[in-house]
Structure 1
Amino acid sequence: MKLTSMIAIYALFWVMTAFVMLPFGVKTHDEAGIPKVPGQADSAPAHFRPGRLALRASVIALALTALYIVNYTQGWLTVSDLDFTAGRGPGQ
C-alpha cells in the first residue's frame, strides 16, 4: 500500500471519528449553570475544546488506520467474507 493511500485512509477515519465524537461530553450553559451571552443559541456548548477533540480523534483514527492496514496485508477479512448472498440465486 502506498503512503498516499495510508494518509488518505487516515484522513477519512479522522473526519469520521471527529464527527462521531462531537456530541459526547458536551454541556450547554444551562446544564453547566453558566449564564448565557445575549443572543446565544440555547444549544451552544459551554466549554468547547477543539484541541482535546482533535487529539482524541487523532489517536482513535491512528488505531483504526493501523487495524485497516494490517487487515489489508494479512487478509483477515475480505470482501468475499462479507458477501452474505453467496451461493444463493434469485428468489432463493
Structure 2
Amino acid sequence: MSVGAAVAIYFIIWWLCLFVVLPFGVRSQVEAGTVIPGSDRGAPVRHRMLKNALWTTLVSAVVFGVFYANFVGGYLTLDDIPFLPRSPQD
C-alpha cells in the first residue's frame, strides 16, 4: 500500500468515526434546562468539537491499525466472505 493510499483510507475512516463520535455526551438545551430564545430547543449546550476531534483521531487510529494489519497479514480476504458471487473460472 502506498503512503498516499494509506492517507486517503485514514482520512475516510477519520470522517466515518467523526460521525460516530459526535453524538456522545451531547446535551440539548432542553435537557440542560437553558433554552436560549431564538435558538432551536434541540441545539447542544456546548459543542466540544476539540474533544470530539481528539476522540475521533484515537478511534480512527485503532480502526486503521486493524485495517492495515489485515491488509498486510491477509487474515480476511474477499474469498472468505460467504455468498459473494464467484467468477465463472472457479
Aligned to 1:15: 15
Instruction: Report how far residue 22 of structure 1 moved.
Output: 1.5
Aligned to 1:32: 32
**CA distance, structure 2, for counterparts of residue 58 and residue 85 of structure 1:** 33
Aligned to 1:74: 73
When normalised by structure 1's length, the TM-score is 0.85
Structure 2 gaps of 5+ residues are: none
Distance 1:56 1:36, change over 3 A: same
**CA distance, structure 2, for counterparts of residue 82 and residue 2 of structure 1:** 25
Aligned to 1:90: none
CA contact (8 A) 2:30 2:42 kept: no
User: Where does structure 1 differ by over 4 angstroms across 4 or more consecutive aligned residues?
Assistant: none
Corresponding letter in the other structure for 2:22: L
Q: SS of the counterpart of 1:15? A: helix
Instruction: Report how far residue 85 of structure 1 moved.
Output: 4.6
CA RMSD in angstroms, aligned pairs only: 1.5
Q: Does 1:65 align with 2:43?
A: no
By relative contact order (CA 8 Å, sep 6+), the higher-ranking structure is 1
Aligned residues: 86
Percent identity of paired positions between Structure 1 and Structure 2: 33
Distance 1:2 1:84, change over 3 A: same
Aligned to 2:4: 4
Corresponding letter in the other structure for 2:28: T
Instruction: Report how far residue 57 of structure 1 moved.
Output: 0.4
When normalised by structure 2's length, the TM-score is 0.86
